[in-house]
Amino acid sequence: MSKVGWLRLVVIVGAVGALEVACRAGWINHRVVIPPSEMADALVQLLISGKFNEQIARSFGLVIAAIIIAVVAGFIVGVIIHALPRVRQALDPFFATYYAVPIFIFYPVMIPIFGLSVIPILLMGVLTAIVAMIISTLNGLDRVPRVLTKVARVHRMGRISTALRLKLPAAAPHLFTGVKLAVSYGFIGVIASEFILAPAGLGRVISDAYSDFDNRSMYALMLLLVVVATLANTLLHLFDQRWAERRGAGKS
């Protein structure tokens, strides 16, 4: 591991250790925060008991579905908008301000339309993530060197072949940034929606545990979310780093 990696580990271990000490020493009220070791123990017990397995599967399933839909649809929409400069000009201000609007305010609108099903949650996850993917696709396609289009013409490549064999790989680093953002936003969109109104799911269970003063369940599930989200992002980051090194972007 690099020096920076070790430093990062020291910071995380130090923070968790400090919280552990503060909770054990009684500096933080046990009814407010339980020690990290107890969170981990509660999580293990909870997973073994299988009490919330259905909720966990439902939420992570929705997160994965929202991410896949946002990435695929965001990419396709991005490609279409990129090919239509006037449409893009018209939409650019919306994209620029999209994340300034708290999109969750629309959740109650979706309930009368779709009912208390998984669809509003999935839609919230998709809507939260898709614009990041559209913007990344547009950025990626903007940065495809113009000379590649000439190279494609020298090789007498058609539009589809040029798009798939040259533009897509050339734009790939930016598209991957979109994927990383979509993963983060997908988690936020789905879990936060479950918090608000959903009848089931991890967000709902955490919310219920909070209302019932069931700190062990609440912190255990929060820990689960943090671990899974961190793991997903770490894997994506590692993949991105290796890829960037190979393509030279990692060179100083």
Partner 1 sequence: MTADASDRRVHASLISVTRVYPATAGTQPVHALGPIDLELKRGEFFAVVGPSGCGKSTLLEVLAGLQPATEGMVAFEGRPVAGEVPDGIGVVFQEDASFPWLTVRDNAAFGLRRNGTDESEVRRRVDDTLAFMGLKDFATAYPAQLSGGMRQRVCIARTLVLQPRLILLDEPFGALDAQTRLLMGDEVLRLWRQTGATILLITHALDEAAMLSDRIGAMSARPGRFLDIVETGWARERDSTIVSEAHFGEITGRLWDNLRGESMKSLGYAGMYAAAE
Residues that bind partner 1 (CB under 8 A): 145, 147-148, 150-151, 153-157, 161, 165-166, 169-170, 172, 246-249, 251
What is the per-residue DSSP string for 62-121?
Answer: HHHHHHHHHHHHHHHHHHHHHH-HHHHHHHHHHHHHGGGS-GGGGHHHHHHHH-SSHHHH
Q: How far is the CB of 155 from partner 1 (least distance, A)?
A: 6
Q: How far is the CB of 247 from partner 1 (least distance, A)?
A: 5
Nearer to partner 1, 163 or 228 (CB): 163
For CA atoms 230, 233, 236, 239, the dihedral sign is negative
Nearer to partner 1, 31 or 86 (CB): 86
The Cα–Cα gap between 197 and 107 comes to 8
Q: How far is the CB of 105 from partner 1 (least distance, A)?
A: 39
Those residues whose C-beta lies under 8 Å from the C-beta of residue 225, and which sit 6 or more positions away, are 187, 191, 202, 206
Nearer to partner 1, 11 or 164 (CB): 164
229: which 2 tokens? 């989200």
Q: How far is the CB of 240 from partner 1 (least distance, A)?
A: 14
Nearer to partner 1, 161 or 234 (CB): 161
Question: From the centroid of its chain, how far is CA 213?
Answer: 29
DSSP 199: S
Nearer to partner 1, 170 or 223 (CB): 170
Q: How far is the CB of 137 from partner 1 (least distance, A)?
A: 17
Q: How far is the CB of 166 from partner 1 (least distance, A)?
A: 7
Nearer to partner 1, 40 or 172 (CB): 172
The Cα–Cα gap between 205 and 233 comes to 24
The Cα–Cα gap between 162 and 125 comes to 32
Those residues whose C-beta lies under 8 Å from the C-beta of residue 115, and which sit 6 or more positions away, are none
